[in-house]
Copies of this chain bind each other. A is one copy, B any other.
Amino acid sequence: MRAIPGTPFDPVEDGDKLKEECGVFGVTGVSDAANFVALGLHALQHRGQEAGGIVTYDPEQGFNSARRFGYVRDNFTRADVMATLPGAIGIGHVRYSTAGSKGATAIRDVQPFFGEFSMGGAAIAHNGNLTNAAQLRKELIERGSIFQSSSDSECIIHLMARSIQKNIAERIKDALRRVEGAFSVVAMTRTKLIGVRDPHGVRPLVLGRIGDSGWALSSETCALDIIGAEFVREIEPGEMVVIEGNKVESTRPFNQAPSRFCIFEQVYFSRPDSILQGRSVYETRRQIGVELAKEAPVEADLVCPVPDSGTPAAIGYSQQSGIPYAMGIIRNQYMGRTFIEPTDAIRNMGVRLKLNVNRALIRGKRVILVDDSVVRGTTSRKIKDMILDAGAAEVHFRIASPPTAWPCFYGVDTPERSKLLAATMTEDEMRDWIGVDSLKFISLDGLYRAAGEAAGRDPKSPKFCDACFSGEYPIAPSDKIAEGFEMKAAE
């Protein structure tokens, strides 16, 4: 056995994937809201695996909440926990904890946030990121607000507490008009379920119908499917819906702005069985593979996905190119988040905890590997090593997104710019650094085409937020600029 220079662990833990930071879900008009919310959050677990929280309201028991670290399935399935969450209305949140806030007090950062106002209580759950939260926080503390968390989202509830509106929905409007950034918010009062999307509609939010009397709001449609709810429509950018009983009231509290939905939701974040902008996410991703095969063909024996996120694009690439699709890399389905680091003795052997090569299949073959993105590039190198160690004749990487060269400030956990491989290298340099026979990314135009924009990207008015690829930020990241972040120079 020859020595293996590096060994593949979890690309997500390695910081080699962009991480969606949140999923939100809410229901009203059902007999046991907490169970519905738990199922919805379970279906949204891919949007945040570190922690989750649920708030419900019951006329007799009042507002109740439970917030826990860990998977939904491990917390919000326990009878003792669920028994504390009675009521017919509830909202929930799953999240990643961002670097630095994890520790003894971090449970305070787990949403939903709750506030008791003079007209009653309200809870909010926020997906996205506020780009002026630092300024708002400073101002609120000076005026006597006591923050309980390090989360930017907590600003919203304090702004609501200080609003002079008599009605919670109006207070939410007051608060959200003060914030900048990306937000899909699900909120609740004793009787109302409320959903809002920011003017650009960066993060997703959809409306669903539960039987004849219930409603759901969800980050994605897959969470409607899990509870058997019917997908009604997307909440529109800049729209606020207030649901009470059977009435869904829609208003537009903000100034009009161009729609700029996050294109990375299409590439990676959303689940393949969700529907985004009227199309199956799976189908969009398969189409990315088709475009990629057209843009970057290569002679080879097998097309293999890097599991699991590269699978739909690999299927598309195979179908367009005619090169057989194969499971060249197998993911261990029992992998959890808690596996300890192997000891040195084992590490030196070349441990394959999460992924294993189908050695008998790969030996002697020219292999095309399809992955969703390259962030730091560390995982790509490890996978290449593993494939070559199994005896592949050639390795060609095809990436289902353009080079990721800019950080996201709208609710995605990205490494700082200097850690992004594409921020410091050309495509050829990346190919050499990773050590493969060829490396090709889909073009931004190709990605837009796969996402349904037949004409590709309109540089004057792009339909998506693609700042991570283009460096063009639709909303100025003012806190970050105050900290010294340098925007891309105008061309």
Interface residues of A (CB under 8 A from B): 1, 4, 30-32, 35-36, 39, 42-43, 45-46, 49, 64-66, 71-74, 77-79, 81, 84-85, 103-105, 115-118, 138, 141-148, 157-158, 161-162, 209-211, 222, 225-230, 271-273, 275, 279-280, 282-283, 286, 308, 311-312, 315, 319, 324-327, 330, 332-336, 338-340, 342-343, 345-346, 348-353, 356-361
Contact = CB atoms under 8 A, between A and B. Distances in A.
Contacts of A142: 118
A31 B346 CA distance: 9
B315 A35 contact: no
Contact of A32 (B225, B330, B335, B345): B345
Contacts of A332: 42-43, 45, 226
A356 B351 CA distance: 33
A64 B104 contact: yes
A325 B316 CA distance: 10
B356 A66 contact: no
B336 A46 contact: no
Nearest to A1: B230
Contact of A361 (B1, B73, B283, B326): B283
A138 B118 CA distance: 8
B334 A45 contact: yes
A271 B355 CA distance: 12
A157 B146 contact: yes
Residue in A311, A319, A345 whose Cβ sees the most chain B Cβ within 10 Å: A345
A118 B147 CA distance: 11
Given A46-B334, A332-B43, A279 B360 contact: yes
